[in-house]
Amino acid sequence: MIAETGLTVPRYAMTLFVTGASRLSLQAVSRVREFCEEELTGNYDLEVVDLYRALERAREAQVIAAPTLLRDNPAPVRRVIGDMSDRGRLRAAIKVV
Protein backbone atom coordinates (compact mmCIF):
# COMPACT_ATOMS: atom_id res chain seq x y z
CA MET A 1 0.00 0.00 0.00
CA ILE A 2 1.33 3.40 -0.91
CA ALA A 3 0.55 5.40 2.21
CA GLU A 4 0.45 8.84 0.62
CA THR A 5 -2.04 7.97 -2.11
CA GLY A 6 -3.99 5.10 -0.60
CA LEU A 7 -3.31 3.01 -3.72
CA THR A 8 -2.65 -0.70 -3.48
CA VAL A 9 0.31 -1.84 -5.55
CA PRO A 10 -0.31 -5.20 -7.24
CA ARG A 11 2.00 -8.12 -6.51
CA TYR A 12 3.66 -9.25 -9.71
CA ALA A 13 3.79 -12.96 -10.57
CA MET A 14 6.18 -13.88 -13.36
CA THR A 15 7.61 -16.99 -14.95
CA LEU A 16 10.90 -16.97 -16.85
CA PHE A 17 11.35 -19.85 -19.29
CA VAL A 18 14.99 -20.66 -20.13
CA THR A 19 16.92 -23.47 -21.81
CA GLY A 20 19.22 -25.15 -19.33
CA ALA A 21 22.26 -23.46 -17.84
CA SER A 22 23.53 -21.88 -21.03
CA ARG A 23 25.28 -18.51 -20.91
CA LEU A 24 22.22 -16.80 -22.41
CA SER A 25 19.87 -18.45 -19.92
CA LEU A 26 22.03 -17.47 -16.95
CA GLN A 27 22.23 -13.89 -18.24
CA ALA A 28 18.44 -13.74 -18.65
CA VAL A 29 17.89 -15.00 -15.10
CA SER A 30 20.39 -12.52 -13.69
CA ARG A 31 19.00 -9.56 -15.62
CA VAL A 32 15.37 -10.31 -14.81
CA ARG A 33 16.12 -10.77 -11.11
CA GLU A 34 18.11 -7.53 -11.04
CA PHE A 35 15.31 -5.70 -12.86
CA CYS A 36 12.68 -7.06 -10.47
CA GLU A 37 14.66 -6.13 -7.36
CA GLU A 38 15.25 -2.59 -8.59
CA GLU A 39 11.86 -1.91 -10.18
CA LEU A 40 9.49 -4.01 -8.05
CA THR A 41 11.41 -3.93 -4.75
CA GLY A 42 10.44 -7.33 -3.42
CA ASN A 43 6.84 -7.01 -4.61
CA TYR A 44 7.09 -9.94 -7.01
CA ASP A 45 7.28 -13.70 -7.33
CA LEU A 46 9.59 -15.02 -10.03
CA GLU A 47 9.64 -18.67 -11.04
CA VAL A 48 12.39 -19.88 -13.37
CA VAL A 49 11.44 -22.87 -15.53
CA ASP A 50 13.99 -24.89 -17.49
CA LEU A 51 12.39 -25.99 -20.75
CA TYR A 52 14.60 -29.08 -20.83
CA ARG A 53 13.13 -30.27 -17.51
CA ALA A 54 9.55 -28.98 -17.81
CA LEU A 55 8.55 -28.97 -21.46
CA GLU A 56 4.89 -29.48 -20.57
CA ARG A 57 4.87 -26.17 -18.67
CA ALA A 58 6.07 -24.44 -21.84
CA ARG A 59 3.32 -26.08 -23.88
CA GLU A 60 0.68 -25.02 -21.37
CA ALA A 61 1.96 -21.43 -21.46
CA GLN A 62 2.33 -21.53 -25.25
CA VAL A 63 6.02 -20.68 -25.05
CA ILE A 64 7.79 -21.26 -28.37
CA ALA A 65 11.13 -19.50 -27.77
CA ALA A 66 13.52 -18.96 -24.90
CA PRO A 67 14.13 -16.94 -22.95
CA THR A 68 10.50 -15.90 -22.46
CA LEU A 69 9.24 -13.93 -19.49
CA LEU A 70 5.53 -14.15 -18.69
CA ARG A 71 3.89 -11.69 -16.36
CA ASP A 72 0.86 -13.61 -15.11
CA ASN A 73 -0.29 -11.11 -12.52
CA PRO A 74 -1.60 -8.47 -12.65
CA ALA A 75 -3.76 -9.50 -15.62
CA PRO A 76 -3.65 -9.51 -18.58
CA VAL A 77 -0.73 -11.83 -19.25
CA ARG A 78 2.22 -10.04 -20.87
CA ARG A 79 5.27 -11.58 -22.61
CA VAL A 80 8.84 -10.59 -23.26
CA ILE A 81 10.67 -12.87 -25.68
CA GLY A 82 14.40 -12.86 -26.32
CA ASP A 83 16.95 -10.38 -24.97
CA MET A 84 16.26 -9.40 -21.36
CA SER A 85 18.95 -6.72 -21.15
CA ASP A 86 16.83 -3.78 -22.36
CA ARG A 87 15.32 -2.34 -19.17
CA GLY A 88 13.03 0.02 -21.07
CA ARG A 89 11.60 -2.88 -23.02
CA LEU A 90 11.09 -4.93 -19.85
CA ARG A 91 9.46 -1.99 -18.06
CA ALA A 92 7.11 -1.32 -20.98
CA ALA A 93 6.16 -4.97 -21.42
CA ILE A 94 5.66 -5.68 -17.74
CA LYS A 95 3.83 -2.35 -17.29
CA VAL A 96 5.38 -1.48 -13.94
CA VAL A 97 2.99 0.80 -12.01
Write out the chain's pLDDT in tens, 97 residues: 444 566 777 899 999 999 999 999 999 999 999 999 999 998 999 999 999 999 999 999 999 999 999 999 999 999 999 999 999 999 998 887 6
Give the residues across from 79 on adjacent strands: 70
Within a domain: 8: no
Pairing of strands 12-18, 44-50: parallel
Is 3 inside any structural domain? Answer: no
Determine the residue type at 20: G
Measured CA distances, 59 to 8, 63, 77 (Å): 33, 6, 16
H or E, element range at 81: strand 78-81
CA–centroid distance for 93 within its chain: 10
Q: Is residue 87 part of a domain?
A: yes
Q: Looking at the domain assignment, is residue 78 inside a domain?
A: yes
The domain spanning residue 77 has which CATH number? 3.40.30
Name the 3-class secondary structure at 87.
helix
Neighbouring-strand partners of residue 69: 16, 80
